[in-house]
Every structure is written in structure tokens, then in C-alpha cells.
Amino acid sequence: MQFIVKTTPEELQRARQWWMDLEMQWKFAYNEAVFGKGPSIEPPKDDELMILLVRADTLRFAGPTASRPNMTTKLTNLSGLIPLYHLFYLSISDCEITSLEPLTRHTKIEHLFLYSNKISSLKGIEGMTNLKDLYVQDNELTDIAPVRTLSNLETFYCNNNQLTSLKGMTKQHAAKRIKFFVLPNEKLTDKDILQVEDKLGIKCRKA
């Protein structure tokens, strides 16, 4: 089925400029994972470009070492997602992402999969109050404090990181009966785990 997006010449020009300004890694990623053109920096057709920028709410990028890869590039940042603030589902796995701060304005996301990257901080997701699923296992996180504001979180994977604290988990998460997969995390103590289980009633599960 073909979708036609009505747009003004000015909007189309801005969209084309957005593509021109993209880093090469993101042009490769979109062409492989979204447009099915292989590793190329060739601009997409105007309709394809406008659908991506205006309508697309689901994106999946899986690096070359993933079990089901859809691109040969390992993304190193999230800059190519600006200004796709309408995203509902985002998955970027098996890449080399380090920071989530470019996602600050992506407040409509409900399902976020960023496992197997090099993320050292969750700063940037505080405003995702609609978020239900967060998968950030196999990264380099030392804390999960930014999830404090995510009261609708239902599933949270943060195992295989470098966590030294579980501050950020709250009674609101307990009320949602959150599925909290935090083990193993070698730097966590039994005290940290017991505080969450006994004081909040949140089971610390093993993935």
C-alpha cells in the first residue's frame, strides 16, 4: 500500500535539508533498516522521506552482531532521530550508543529497546512518562536514578551493567507490579537488593 503525504514545498525542502545534514552512519542505517536499499547514502524518495518524518512511529535498528541484524553499521549516537518526536516504539541494539540525551523530547515513546550498547547514563529519558517497556541490559550503566519519574513502567531490564545503586525504583513502580530484571549486576550488594525487595515490594529478578 502506498501512502502519499501532503506537504508544502517549504516542508519538503526542510526534509531534504535534514537528510543532507545527517551523519553518514545514519544515512546508511536508514537506507538499510528502513528503506531497504543497502548501505548507501542515496537520498530516499520524497514520499519515503516525508512518511519517515511525519508518520513513522516504529523504528528498529539492529547492528551487525545482533541475532537478527538489519544493518551493517554500528550506530554511535542518536542524533539521527531528531526530529522524529512522534516515535512510539524504538529499538536500537548491538551498536555503540553511549548517551540517551538526544531522546529528551521523545516523550511519546512507550517501548524502548537499547540493549547491547555502551550506554553509561539514562539521563534523557526522564520525560518519557508514557514508557511501559525499557530494555537497557548489557550496557555500562552505574545507576538508574532517571527512572524515578517513569511511573507507568511495567517491564525494566537492566541486568549486566555496572550498577552500584538501585535508587530510582519507587513505590509507584511497585504499584504497577513492575517486572524488574536486574540480576546479574556484580557491583550490587545484597543490601541494595533487599532494600528494593523488602521496602518497596519489588522482586529483583534474574534475566
Tens-digit pLDDT string for the chain (207 aa): 344 556 788 999 999 999 999 999 999 999 999 999 999 999 999 999 999 999 999 999 999 999 999 999 999 999 999 999 999 999 999 999 999 999 999 999 999 999 999 999 999 999 999 999 999 999 999 999 999 999 999 999 999 999 999 999 999 999 999 999 999 999 999 999 999 999 999 999 999
Strand partners of residue 29:
none
Does the N-terminal peptide bond of residue 184 adopt cis geometry, omega within 30 degrees of 0? yes
State pTM to two decimals: 0.95
User: What are the sequence ranges of the domains in the chain?
Assistant: 1-56, 57-206
What CATH architecture applies to the domain 57-206? Answer: Alpha-Beta Horseshoe (3.80)
Whether the Cβ atoms of residue 77 and residue 96 lie closer than 8 Å to each other: no
Residues 6+ apart with CB under 8 A from 17: none
* Cα(8)–Cα(39) distance, integer angstroms: 30
Give the CA-trace dihedral at 47, 87, 29, 82, to 10 degrees: 90
